[in-house]
Amino acid sequence: MLFYQNEKEELNAILGKLKEADRTILILKDREGFSYEEISRITDKPVGTVRSRLHRARARVAALGRQCK
């Protein structure tokens, strides 16, 4: 269980380094399971913006995760 806690803490630290708008969209999509259209309505952003921010957020999480290893 200690390993899982460390991973969870690491992920939370990485998420904390994202811009708030990117973090919000990432959480809505990947943790909460909302569709692009639902996120668009929730955030009042066009679907294209939601998609690009999600792509940017995922790339940033991956890059930061590699730095932690």
Share of the chain above pLDDT 70, in %: 91
Q: Specify the amino acid at residue 41.
A: R
- Between 1-5, 10-14, 32-36, 60-64, the lowest mean confidence (pLDDT) is in 1-5
Q: Which CATH architecture has domain 20-68?
A: Orthogonal Bundle (1.10)
Task: State the Cα torsion 48-34-29-17 to the nearest 10°.
Answer: 90
> Rounded to whole angstroms, how far apart are CA atoms 35 and 16?
23
Q: Are 62 and 26 in contact (CB under 8 A)?
A: no
How far out from the chain centre does Cα 2 lie? 23
Is the model's pLDDT at 62 over the cut of 80? Answer: yes
Give pLDDT tens digits for 7-37. Answer: 888 888 899 999 999 999 999 999 999 999 9
Assessment of whether the complete model's pTM goes beyond 0.75: yes
Taking Cα atoms as reference points, which of 23, 28, 3 lies closest to residue 12? Answer: 23
